Amino acid sequence: MKPKISVLTLGVSNLERSLAFYRDGLGLPTKGIIGQEFEHGAVAFIDLSGGLKLALWAQADIAHDTGLPLQPVSSTAVTIGHNVARKEDVDHCMEAAVRAGAEVIKTAQDTFYGGYAGYFRDPDRHVWEIVWNPDLLPPED
C-alpha cells in the first residue's frame, strides 16, 4: 500500500447543513450532493489540493455501510489540519470559519514550536486546526 490518502470522509448529521458550511461558508469547491438516487448514497465531495477529496456523508449512512453502530462524534479522536503559508492567514481562516458558523475552540495564538495556530469545530463537532508552522510550510499551488 502506498502511503497516500485520496479521500477523507466526515460523518455528518445533516448533509445539507454541512455542505452549506463547507461550500458557502468556507468557499471550498464542490459539485454539491450526488448519489441521492441511492439509498444511503447521498454524498458531497470537496476538491482539496494534491487531488485529495473531502467527502461529507451522513453518519447514519456510514454506520449502515460499515455495519457499525451509530456513535456520537468524538472531537478529540481526530483533528484536521489546514497548514497555511503566512501567519496572518490563520486569522483570516479562523474568521471565515466563524462567519460560516464554526465554534472557536481555541483562539489563534503563538505555539510552543514557534508557529501560530487556532482550533474550531464544524457543525458536527469535527475539529479543525488552522496552523502556520514556519518549519512545515505548505507547497505553493
Average pLDDT value for residue range 106-113:
97
Question: Which CATH number belongs to the domain containing residue 44 in this structure?
Answer: 3.10.180.10
Strand partners, 104: 120
Are residue 52 and residue 11 in the same domain, yes or no?
Answer: yes
- Is beta strand 103-110 parallel, antiparallel or unpaired with respect to 116-121? antiparallel
| Residues 42-90: tens digit of each pLDDT | 999 999 988 999 999 999 999 999 999 999 888 888 999 999 999 999 9
C-alpha cell of 54?
Answer: 473531502
Are residue 100 and residue 60 in the same domain, yes or no?
Answer: no
SS3 content of the chain, % helix, strand, coil (to 5): 25, 35, 40
| Total domain count, the chain | 2
Q: Which structural domain range is residue 90 located in? A: 79-132
How far apart are alpha carbons 27 and 112 in whole angstroms? 30
Tell whether the model's pLDDT for residue 141 goes beyond 70: no
Which residues make Cβ contacts (< 8 Å) with residue 68, sequence separation at least 6? 62
Global pTM exceeds 0.75 = yes
In-domain check, residue 140:
no
Are residue 55 and residue 96 in the same domain, yes or no?
Answer: no
* Predicted local distance difference test score (pLDDT) of residue 4: 84
pLDDT tier for residue 2 given thresholds of 50, 70 and 90: confident
In-domain check, residue 51:
yes
Are residue 83 and residue 62 in the same domain, yes or no?
Answer: no
In-domain check, residue 141:
no
In-domain check, residue 96:
yes
pLDDT tier for residue 26 given thresholds of 50, 70 and 90: very high
How far apart are alpha carbons 89 and 83 in whole angstroms? 9
